[in-house]
Structure 1
Amino acid sequence: MGERDVVAGTTGATASDRVLTVPNVLSSLRLVGVPVFLWLILHEHDGYALLVLMASGVTDYLDGKIARRFGLVSRLGRLLDPLADRLYILTTLLGLAYRDVIPWWLVVVLLGREAFMALVLLWLRPHGYHTLPVHFIGKAATFNLLYAFPLMLLGDGDGTLAAVALPVGWAFAWWGTALYWLAALLYVAQAASLVRADRAAARAAT
């Protein structure tokens, strides 16, 4: 069974096979920034790391906005955009946990969600689906987490700014984690719907 293009989701747009588009270039630039960001975090160049993370957030917003506004939604973009989000979250988690800025249990909770979603996609694969569109709640969770980590990094110090940034960062982290798992449950419901429709179509064909 060939790969299917799942178009249900927040965009409602049909994905094309185009590769060289402005949104895809922006997503690619975000991916290039991942190892740079990790190196900066591990070597405690926090100011530059925050700038890279902010640039990632801006390009993340722009690539989705441009893709929807100008009809540039593509299958490649639907792969690159969530991949970049996940890699930034992964590198930030590992870098900040390594520096003892965040606890390792938070890493386990968030990576556990990624492992859970990998199992969902494995379940879908025999039915020809290799990806699911990014859901609004999943995107909101990502934004919360990407706000949380810089604030928690700023909170790793002394002074008034650190004292304010740390609790605000933790608030974003809690909301982001809860929304991240809620989005996973919504993806499961969506996947189950696709599987039921696939089985119904198979029964009708026979």
Structure 2
Amino acid sequence: MSETSAEDRIWTVPNLLSFLRLLGVPVFLWLVLGPKEDGWAIAILAVAGFTDWLDGKIARAFNQTSRLGRIIDPAADKLYVFATIVGLLLRDVIPWWLVVVILGRELFVACFIPVLRKHGYKALQVHYLGKAAMFNLMYAFPLLFLASHTGWYADIARIVGWAFALWGTGLYWWAGVLYVVQVLQLVTSAKKE
């Protein structure tokens, strides 16, 4: 199998895991906002976080990276973050300012996508800081969800959840700034040619 055809693969284990994560987004939102089945919602978030890590490991270990995987994996991550912050905001678990800061980063980075496209680039590689940020946020949200309950675990979940949330949000912005720096470097080098 040539390298080009390997890149065009659709049916790989990592892509299947990413598709399953995508299918979990509406289920998660329904559980949070409909019947308020928090235990199941937290389980879906935990599984999503684990499969996000697992699909990358499998893709690298078994040479199953693909063009589709580089699109749906970060898309699933972003949809989970968006669905989770919306669900947790509507349930009064997280404050509105956290939602504004996280979504503000998305808008900031999105402003540079047309610049990237104008110079013939489709997308940049995901930076390890972006993956670290997503890891932190995917663990922060279930913990903050647990902190909104009254069990013995609530105080511990609150402290650890906010640590993950603040660290993850900071890394998310840092990765966004590095993304913009990459875009500007590409544009500058393209103008010199």
TM-score by length of structure 2 reads 0.93
Q: State the identity as a percent.
A: 59
- 1:20 corresponds in structure 2 to 11
Instruction: For residue 196 of structure 1, report the CA deviation from its aligned partner.
Output: 2.3
Q: Tell me which of 111, 118, 139 is aligned to 1:119.
A: 111
What is the distance in 2 between the residues matched to 1:20 and 1:101? 38
Q: Distance in 2 between matches of 1:200 and 1:159?
A: 61
Unaligned runs of 5+ in 1: 1-14, 202-206
Closer/same/farther in 2, CA of residues 198 and 18 from structure 1, 3 Å limit? farther
The answer to whether residue 163 in structure 2 is matched with residue 198 in structure 1 is no
Q: Distance in 1 between matches of 2:72 and 2:151?
A: 39
Are positions 1:55 and 2:47 aligned together? yes
Note if 1:129 corresponds to 2:106: no
Unpaired runs of 5+ in structure 2? 1-5
Q: Structure 1 stretch 81-90 or stretch 184-193: which is displaced more?
A: 184-193
Q: Using a 3 Å threshold, how does the CA distance of structure 1 residues 62 and 159 change in structure 2: closer, same or farther?
A: closer
Write the letter of the residue equivalent to 1:19. I
Q: CA deviation at 1:171?
A: 0.9
1:184 matched to 2:176? The reply is yes
**What SS does structure 2 have at the residue aligned with 1:23?**
helix
**Equivalents in 1 of 2:10, 2:111: separation in Å?**
28
Q: How does 1:69-88 map to 2 (within 5 A)?
A: 69-88=61-80
| Post-superposition offset of 1:17 | 1.9
Contact kept in structure 1, 2:25 and 2:79, CA below 8 Å: yes
The whole-number CA distance in structure 2 between the counterparts of 1:128 and 1:23 is 28
Q: Deviations over 1:16-71 (max 9, x none)?
A: 12222111111111101110011111131110011111111121111111111122
- In the alignment, is the contact (CA less than 8 A) between 2:14 and 2:59 conserved in 1? yes
Partner of 2:165: 173
- Measure, in 1, the Cα distance between the counterparts of 2:88 and 2:19: 24
For 1:141 and 1:170, locate their aligned partners in 2 and report how far apart those are by CA, in whole Å: 13
Aligned counterparts of 2:108 and 2:191: Cα–Cα separation in 1: 23
Contact kept, 8 Å, 2:46 with 2:139, in 1: the verdict is no
SS at match of 1:130: coil
**8 Å contact 2:59–2:65 — kept in the other structure?**
yes
